[in-house]
Amino acid sequence: MPEKKCRVELLAHTPEPLSLIYAAFRQCYHAGDVADMWKKLLSGEISREKQADFVEKILASGHASPVEHVSFTFALSGVSRALTHQLVRHRIASYSQQSQRYVDASDFDYIMPPAIAANPAARARFEACMSEIGSAYRDLKDMLEQAGRGKKACEDARFVLPQAAASSIVVTMNCRTLLQFFEQRCCSRAQWEIRGAAQAMLNHCRSVLPEIFNHAGAKCERLGYCPEGEKFTCGRYPLPENR
């Protein structure tokens, strides 16, 4: 039952993402068929700089729906069930998560919060709790198997597993959802674990599509002020009334 650390890998993304977004935007304002310009986009006849400039100007006007045509797929591992419960609340996305119903968790890995890891007494208590839960899971699984539950024993024994239990999940989001996701989860008010995962996802997105994601992140970075109000602001950006 070792402690695990978060790992975020980019599995795939829509090919030629900037050109696709540019074509989608152009179709909204172009009398012809953008399919006719697609080869020019891929050949570089319409430069990346020109595409990026056009996309940036239209995005700045508030027209954002064409970025939904591009998506990114990530594999997250070494993350807690606490994180995935938050993650799946972002609705316009696709998720495939490791199942505790079918995967034997007799030796489950777990995620330890940094504040607990830094406190020797808290760490010892946490580790003892994880060990006891693992023992309880194994005992229950054995009892249920002996009672005839067979492979279904895991689906009942899992009820004792903690939110700290490590999990793996594949997530696909389009660019518009990702931009909103980063605004919320890269904020300093976001929980530490999902904030770290979001920042790793953002780094991957920036490496592929900087024209869209270089200015992505916490909402304050786009607005230039903190929208959280005096009670919740971290102080990184001024409040609206203090700009």
- pTM greater than 0.85: yes
Q: Is the model's pLDDT at 26 over the cut of 70?
A: yes
Instruction: Tell me what the mean pLDDT of segment 26-33 comes to.
Output: 85
Number of residues assigned to the chain: 243
171: Cβ–Cβ under 8 A, 6 or more apart, which residues?
73, 74, 76, 87, 93, 94, 95
Can you tell me which residue has the tokens 């490496």?
Answer: 207
Do residues 156 and 149 lie in contact, with contact meaning Cβ atoms separated by under 8 Å?
Answer: yes
> Residue 147: which pLDDT band, with cuts at 50, 70 and 90?
very high
What was the pLDDT predicted at 221?
85
Residue 81 is a catalytic residue: no
Instruction: Tell me what the mean pLDDT of segment 118-144 comes to.
Output: 97
Instruction: Tell me what the mean pLDDT of segment 39-53 comes to.
Output: 91
Q: Measure the CA–CA gap between 138 and 82, rounded to whole angstroms.
A: 22
Do residues 23 and 55 lie in contact, with contact meaning Cβ atoms separated by under 8 Å?
Answer: no
Q: Is the model's pLDDT at 122 over the cut of 90?
A: yes
Long-range contacts of 43-49 (CB under 8 A, 24+ apart): 46/22, 48/18
Q: Measure the CA–CA gap between 108 and 103, rounded to whole angstroms.
A: 10
What was the pLDDT predicted at 1?
65
Q: Measure the CA–CA gap between 105 and 130, rounded to whole angstroms.
A: 12
Mean confidence (pLDDT) of the chain: 94
Q: What is the pLDDT of residues 173-228, one digit of tens each?
A: 999 999 999 999 999 999 999 999 999 999 999 999 999 999 899 988 888 888 88
Query: How many other C-beta atoms are found inside a 10 Å radius of the C-beta of residue 235?
Result: 8
Q: What is the pLDDT of residues 63-117, one digit of tens each?
A: 889 999 999 999 999 999 999 999 999 999 999 999 999 999 999 999 999 999 9
Q: Measure the CA–CA gap between 230 and 213, rounded to whole angstroms.
A: 28
What was the pLDDT predicted at 223?
85
What was the pLDDT predicted at 228?
86
Q: Which residue in 185, 195, 236, 243 is the catalytic one?
A: 185
Domains and CATH numbers, the chain: 8-75+167-242 (3.30.1360.170), 101-164 (no CATH)
